[in-house]
Structure 1
Amino acid sequence: MNEKKVSSPSLSYRSAGVDIDAGNRLVDQIRPAAARTTRPEVLAGLGGFASLFELPIHRYQNPILVASTDGVGTKLKLAIQLGVYDTIGTDLVAMCVNDIIVQGAEPLFFLDYYATGKLNIDEASQVIHGISHGCTLAGAALVGGETAEMPGIYQGNDYDLAGFCVGIVEKNALIDGSEVQLGDNLIGIASSGPHANGYSLIRKIIEQGNWSLDTSFDNQTLGSVLITPTRIYVKPLLELFSKVQVHAVAHITGGGLLENLPRVLPIQLSAEINISKWVIPSIFRWLQQQGNLSKEELYRTFNCGIGMVVCVSEAETEKTLACLEGAGETAWVIGKIIEHQAEMPRITLC
């Protein structure tokens, strides 16, 4: 069969919506940001096929690697709406390194994945500078990542983020909740706001009430309060671990106190939380009122002002509070470990 030749323009990757040169320019722009996070163990810079990191095993007898991956959820939509791109990168790091530190592990290195329909170098650079800032706060090296242009998958200014972090801990220093005992105290460490959780509900509340992000709120705007980046607890907690025998740590992310605290408790124990022991930031009260949220919904969706919970013995409580406050954290004794009874909730709010 004779095929009819069709005259068509010469195509390129750029004409299909992917600009390789823009990706290369972005890498050049972010090299200094990555270099600021470097550690002695980093063996190769950005641009290779893979990242190289020498494990500091000389400091360990039985090292355990601890890994975590996460994103920032629909807080991204808020960041895009506000045109704020740097703080969301810090959120990304926080969601990963805060999950690693609860095991007692020191974060070693971090990689990111940035995907968009059309690469905007300035916006992407701000995101990655935020990631670099988060890595600096956590003491982790930004060793690499991936930037992907995917026209047809992402539309307009939409983009997505994912992060991956690896940490290390001595096997006999691993914190897994097995040491939690009846009568232990629970110490809550203040959050910086909703962190990166519950934003689908937050956005629904804003949409339903037709609220403007420019609305004045606590001497700021509603948007600036909601875009505040997640607090990174790595360095204060590493310092605490060196001074106090910590029995368990819970990162209060999506699911709030009600869902996250049980993850670190032995099956025979429960926790009683006194919600009058800390100051619940006004943003959570506003969300509860505007969304007509039940108490359970509020505490099951949001951190309500508590970003981390540390479990220690009663004898170590005052030392723990002093150490955290000395590291710049705000902390309160918010509850106690109690015996679990059949058919009772794992977490009791009182």
Structure 2
Amino acid sequence: MTSSPTPPATSNAGYSIADGNAASRNAYGWAKKTFPNRAGRPGEPAQDLDGGFSNEIRFGQERLGISSDGIGTKIEVAERLNRYDTLGYDLIAMTADDLIAAGFVPTNLSNIIDVNSLNYSVVDELMRGLHDAANFAGLAITGGEIAELGNRIGGWPGARMNFNWCSTAIGVLHPSLERPLSGVGVRAGMAVVALRSPSFRSNGFSLARRTLINLFGENWHEATYDGPDAANFSTWGDAMLAPSLIYSPGISALLDAGLPLHGIAHITGGGVADNFQRVLKGGVGAVLDNLFSPLPAMQRLCELGGISAEDAYLYWNMGNGMLLVTEEASAAAVVAQLQAGGYDAQVAGRITADPGVTLRVGAGELRYS
């Protein structure tokens, strides 16, 4: 099976990844025009992480990373289930793992909760979960705000509180690195290591929700979950709310151990192929022939909703939350270190001299250029 170089103008998710990437590039282009404002002064931005989800700012010899993100429409799942204490893991994963993907160890986070009208107990559940996630990731929550915006914020009807939740995190460049990880050192023959994701994380929910609505109607979250892992979830809502695993502690441990990393892709919006191509600089490509199998819930949605493998690997992580590029000779040690830290990891493929990403998965061979 071969995919087109870019997805169709409109997809099952209702938008084009190509259009989204173009809008992001345009927004970043405007942002870069402000970089001269801090040239030669504290807070000077670097420009060697173009295409990444975090960037570098310099304060003298100190090199910090900064990343902003939110948890998107996964919030609606929490509203439907009236359960909010896991979303903090999603919020931290989106920014902390973007930072560590560039070699910045996350240290601090600020967050903002925009609400229609304030509900104390919901905010307490959100912040309790954020506290637990911050303890797992080893960072401090050092800023935040709650803003009541009335009917500017909508969501699931009947929820105790409708809201949007975003954060900005900063981190410090790991002392073993001379410069952020950007993929410039990636060469043919290097190994690719995958870390398993046990959930959808906070991406691809528009496609997933649309599929579930088509299958089960507006109350899809109450529909009985019938995936192969049905012992873990009673409803589709339970399966979709599973929290994100935070990878930054495991990657920090690799760097602490002195294991070589040349590029890291955090698999978020844009799926496996689109995100991994961000670290393939200099015309190299990759063949990934040993990725983790798709999550049972993702596989079941593909079967029920008629979602092609090409689309699924473009919109979802398909069970692979992060891809690391390391030396071939170090791949086994990288996998062992990650497994010792409680993460599922395995060698997933190799870097090739030919450009493009080829995925050899159960559905066949998918090629993305």
- Normalization by structure 2: what TM-score? 0.75
State the partner residue of 2:221: 213
Structure 1 residue matching 2:269: 3-state secondary structure: coil
**Could you list the runs of 5+ residues in structure 2 that have no partner in the other structure?**
1-57, 361-369
> Is residue 260 from structure 1 mapped to residue 269 from structure 2 by the alignment?
no
User: Residue in 2 aligned with 1:347?
Assistant: 357
Q: Please, which of 286, 303, 309 is the counterpart of residue 300 of structure 2?
A: 286
Change in Cα spacing, 1:348 to 1:137, as seen in structure 2 (3 Å) is: same
- 1:191 has 2:193 as partner: no
SS of 1:64 mapped into structure 2: strand
Q: Distance in 2 between matches of 1:116 and 1:202?
A: 24
CA shift, 1:172, in A, is 0.3
Give distance in 1, aligned partners of 2:288 and 2:180. 25
In structure 1, C-alpha distance between the alignment counterparts of 2:291 and 2:97, rounded to whole Å: 23
Partner residue of 1:19?
none
Q: Separation in 2 of the partners of 1:263 and 1:113? A: 29
Residue identity in the other structure for 1:102: A
Q: Deviations over 1:74-119 (max 9, x none)?
A: 1111111111111112211110101000111111100110011110
User: In the aligned structure 1, how far is the partner of 2:209 from the partner of 2:294?
Assistant: 20
Distance (Å, rounded) in 1 between the aligned partners of 2:163 and 2:348:
38
| Structure-2 residue corresponding to 1:296 | 310
CA distance in 2 between counterparts of 1:86 and 1:164 reads 20
The equivalent residue for 1:167 is 171
> Residue 224 in 1 paired to residue 223 in 2?
no
Q: What are the equivalent positions in structure 2 for 1:65-104 lying under 5 Å apart?
A: 65-104=64-103
Task: State whether structure 2 residue 253 is matched by structure 1 residue 239.
Answer: yes
**Alignment of structure 1 residues 2-151 onto 2, 5 Å:** 62-151=61-150
- Give distance in 2, aligned partners of 1:278 and 1:86: 28
Within 2, Cα distance between the matches of 1:151 and 1:72?
Answer: 20
Q: Distance in 2 between matches of 1:270 and 1:287?
A: 29
The 1-side partners of 2:351 and 2:172 are apart by 28
Residues 176-203 of structure 1 deviation map (CA, whole Å, 9 limit, x = unaligned) = 2111111111110000211110001111
Letter in 1 for 2:167: G
The answer (yes or no) to whether the contact 2:194–2:291 under 8 Å persists in 1 is: no
- The corresponding residue for 1:305 is 319
**Residue 273 (structure 1) shift:** 1.2
Q: Which runs of 5+ in 1 are unaligned?
A: 1-56
User: Which amino acid is 1:188 matched to?
Assistant: A
1:273 and 2:279 are equivalent in the alignment: no
Q: How far apart are 1:62 and its partner, in Å?
A: 3.4
Amino acid at match of 2:110: L
- Return structure 1 stretches of 4+ with deviation > 6 angstroms: none
Aligned pair in 2 of structure 1 residues 61, 151: CA closer, same or farther (>3 Å)?
closer
- Helix, strand or coil at the partner of 1:202: helix
Structure 1 residue matching 2:206: 3-state secondary structure: helix
The alpha carbon displacement at 1:223 in A equals 1.6
Query: What letter matches 2:296 in structure 1?
Result: S
Distance of 2:309 and 2:179 partners within structure 1: 37
Tell me if 1:338 matches 2:344: no
Indicate the residue corresponding to 1:325 in structure 2. Answer: 339
Query: Which moved further from structure 2: 166-175 or 305-314?
Result: 166-175
| Identical aligned residues as a percent | 28
- What's the offset of the Cα at 1:278? 2.5
Match of 1:178 in 2: 184
CA RMSD after TM alignment: 1.8
Tell me the amino acid that sits aligned with residue 332 of structure 1.
Q
Q: Is the 8 A contact 2:268 2:316 kept in 1?
A: yes
Q: 1:203 aligns with which of 204, 209, 216?
A: 209
Q: 1:20 is matched with which residue?
A: none
Matched length? 287
Contact 1:90 1:132 in 2 (8 A): no
CA distance in 1, matches of 2:260, 2:179: 9
Larger radius of gyration: 1
Deviation at 1:158, TM superposition (A): 1.6
Q: TM-score, normalised by structure 1?
A: 0.78
Deviation at 1:173? 4.9
CA distance in structure 1 between the aligned counterparts of 2:198 and 2:128, rounded to whole angstroms: 20
Query: Contact conserved, 1:249 with 1:308, CA < 8 A, in 2?
Result: yes
Tell me the alpha carbon deviations over residues 34-61 of structure 1, each in whole angstroms, 9 at most, x when there is no partner: xxxxxxxxxxxxxxxxxxxxxxx9xx99
